[in-house]
Amino acid sequence: MDRIKKTFATCKAEGRGALVTYVTAGFPTVEATAGLMLAMEAGGSGLWPVKLTILDIIELGLPFTDPIADGPTIQKANTIALENGMSATAALKAVRDARKKGLKVPVLFMGYYNPVLIYGEQKFVKDCREAGVDGFVICDLPPEEAVKFRGFCNNEGLSYVPLIAPSTNPSRLKFLCSIADSFIYVVSRMGTTGVSGTLNAGLGDLCKRVHETSRNIPIAVGFGVSTRDQFVSVSQFSEGVVIGSQVINVISQSKPEEVNEKVKEFCQMIVGRDGEDSSIHEVGIAGANRKAKEPANVHPTSVITEKDVGPGPGLMDQLNALNIDGEANSQPIPSRFGEFGGQYVPEALMDCLAELERGFIEANNDPKFWEEFQSHYPYMGRPGQLHLAEHLTEKCGGANIWLKREDLNHTGSHKINNAIGQVLIAKRLGKTEIIAETGAGQHGVATATVCAKFGLKCTVYMGASLRILTPQRCAYLLKEDVRRQALNVFRMKLLGARVISVDAGTRTLRDAVNEALRSWVSNLSTTHYLIGSAIGPHPFPTIVRTFQSVIGNETKKQLMEKRGKLPDAVVACVGGGSNCAGMFYPFANDLSVKMLGVEAGGDGLETTRHAATLAGGSKGVLHGVRTYILQDAEGQISDTHSVSAGLDYPGVGPELASWKDSNRAKFIAASDAEAFEGFRALSELEGIIPALESAHAIFGGMELAKTMKPGEDIVICLSGRGDKDVQSVAEELPNIGPKIGWDLRFPVGSGSKYRSGISCMLRVGKKAS
């Protein structure tokens, strides 16, 4: 920390701004990292007029699988670094090596919280101090969630650098300035990192407010600065300027043997040491503001993953009033479920989440809101049906099996419940655009449907890769969620929505969430992010569970009418957890009712090809919430697999995580083959083709029924219908069918060759035409 303070003091004495450069550790190679740091330092120091000796601080990026506050350039650098084997331990080694070779400038680690948490916060901070690291900029660890981490930093004399965004309100600005110990990182614009051709016209005013509030603590401005002119302009109203994506571009465009020299030349050009003195000119604040323009095309940007700060409420709950203008809400809703939950998000999202929480609380407490919500029941198809699955019950030979028929809802699943509720809140907040993520497409269809009904612009992000097949078949079928849910994609487009295929990362639901959050943070004033599952930062898990609780509330009432008692058990499939939370929550305090969640076991928990987060995961932070996630030993998010697109997600809702740890609910995993058994049984015995997601719950419910007595009652949430999955089932039957003795192929010709029913019918239809 002292080295950072001395650096800014020196810059002030010399009458210049500090150049802060960013590079991703492990990019382009692990071995190149120390050399690049030395090259950047050499590019900004030496015997030159004092006014231009600038390179002062290095930000070394810790790569993460889900860098949702970063744009495409740094995302790609993260991916390459991880492929190269870079880790927190290797990054520490790079700093040690650079220090041994003479690196003098301060070094900040910049990155995301989950790898730090898995490493061990206290150990990480101590090891950083010993390696020569001076502080941290952690994008998704706001100070309210960083109480312990900030304490460890103070003990070791390292700096925790707060971030301030254009959206930060005055009350919160005051709080963030009060905790700054070396300097403040000012985000120049809403959105993600990346090269920008223009500057935010309001940047000068923002920096002025920060200076006035902090009593002139040094600030460094980042996000979008890439040229000498921008550096000079921004230096007029800040003590430091951060350049990152353009450094990565220079590295990417250089030959391996020329990388260090090219980076050095770039830094020299930025500080004016390349001999092009004509480019050096004084630009006052007013001049900079006249030159600056709002970005014309801000690309989808940020969302963040993080891990917990310990059980119980954090400083967020104590300082909740700092997130809103005016007085704190007199009836706040808890931000955590035990140790799970929270708001591990970029600073730019904090005020928006506070606005959403206020809007939800006001709506939830307003009888007229619920009257309006229930007025749409005929459109939604509510109340839903509850009926006894007689043949399924007979086959299992135990408890009565009842089906809560969410598949009969408008759009074919439970997703319409939450979509209607959130759109009504969005309209109350004055939002005109809706964005959403989807895996199986059901949430996307429901969102597109309600946007069409209420006249709102709709954009849906959907994963684009296929990982459910063998490697050989993967090479043939490249577009996953989009491909295997092609019917729902077409339905969304018919309803007027834009469907954005996310061809990045693992190209599944997880990456759709990443991109939706990046887009949201770029367009907060007009846009509401309609999260479809019980995931994400507070208050999203509570909002989704509240609207989906209609499932459990109706179930309780309807079974009481039919049987005069509560069910003995309720069962639901689990991906992110929306239908499960909706079914379970009304029964959470009815301890006589067992609650069984069924996750996607994929190829088996003994393999890495599954999506059973609660059964096979560990505690961490993903997409703004502390919960159970699937991750490796370094805190990087693991790839997942499920035959069901809607369950193919490496996290789960925090309330479900709390139920697991308290033993209130039990969670098991059904493999792909077992899900197919449930799919087949319900189709053949009850004449109902379920969604593959629901088929997991059917299998789990059947197994549970066998262990119970006749006369006891199980209710399974049939969350969706299976029209969308028929093609996927047909394609997978040649692989999974033999494992469960299910063969629907038709013989072709006199030989032993077979084709699937759908393939055969398509061929026959083609000949007939």
Helix axes 726-740, 672-686, angle to 10 degrees: 110
Strand spans (E) along 514-560: 527-529
Neighbours of 636 (CB within 10 A): 18
- At 166 the three-state DSSP class reads coil
DSSP one-letter code for 618: E
Torsional class of 250: left (φ above 0), alpha (ψ -120 to 50), beta (otherwise): alpha
d(CA 82, CA 285): 41
Q: Enter the tokens of residue 136.
A: 């941290």
Q: Please name which of 498, 494, 468, 500 lies closest in space to residue 482, comparing C-alpha atoms.
A: 500
d(CA 135, CA 116): 13
User: Is 70 among the residues known to form the active site?
Assistant: yes
- β-partners of residue 136 are 109, 160
- At 403 the three-state DSSP class reads strand
Q: Please name which of 163, 10, 33 lies closest in space to residue 85, comparing C-alpha atoms.
A: 33
- β-partners of residue 596 are 571, 666
- At 98 the three-state DSSP class reads helix
- β-partners of residue 459 are 435, 498
d(CA 634, CA 616): 16
Q: Enter the tokens of residue 3.
A: 């080295």
Q: For the chain, how many residues are written?
A: 769
- At residue 621, what are phi and psi to the nearest 5 degrees? -130, 130
The answer to whether residues 521 and 302 touch, using CB atoms and an 8 Å cutoff, is: yes
Given the residues 56, 59, 511, 693, select the one marked as catalytic. 59
Q: What is the largest CA-CA distance in the chain?
A: 91
Q: Please name which of 261, 322, 300, 605 lies closest in space to residue 459, comparing C-alpha atoms.
A: 300
Q: Please name which of 489, 508, 479, 409 lies closest in space to residue 448, comparing C-alpha atoms.
A: 489
SS (H, E, C) 573-599: ECCCCHHHHHHHHHHCCCCCCEEEEEE
Torsional class of 88: left (φ above 0), alpha (ψ -120 to 50), beta (otherwise): alpha
- β-partners of residue 622 are 625
The amino acid at 221? V
Given the residues 41, 70, 433, 725, select the one marked as catalytic. 70
Scanning the structure block, which residue is given the tokens 């495409």? Answer: 72
The answer to whether residues 160 and 153 touch, using CB atoms and an 8 Å cutoff, is: yes
d(CA 635, CA 63): 11
Q: Please name which of 92, 77, 166 lies closest in space to residue 129, comparing C-alpha atoms.
A: 92
Strand spans (E) along 8-78: 18-24, 55-61
d(CA 486, CA 466): 13
Helix axes 442-454, 415-428, angle to 10 degrees: 40
Pairing of strands 336-337, 340-341: antiparallel
- β-partners of residue 184 are 219
- At residue 651, what are phi and psi to the nearest 5 degrees? -135, -175
Structural Rg of the chain based on CA atoms: 27
The sign of the dihedral angle between the CA atoms of 659, 660, 664, 665 is positive
Q: Please name which of 113, 129, 135, 675 lies closest in space to residue 342, comparing C-alpha atoms.
A: 113
Which residues are annotated as catalytic? 59, 70
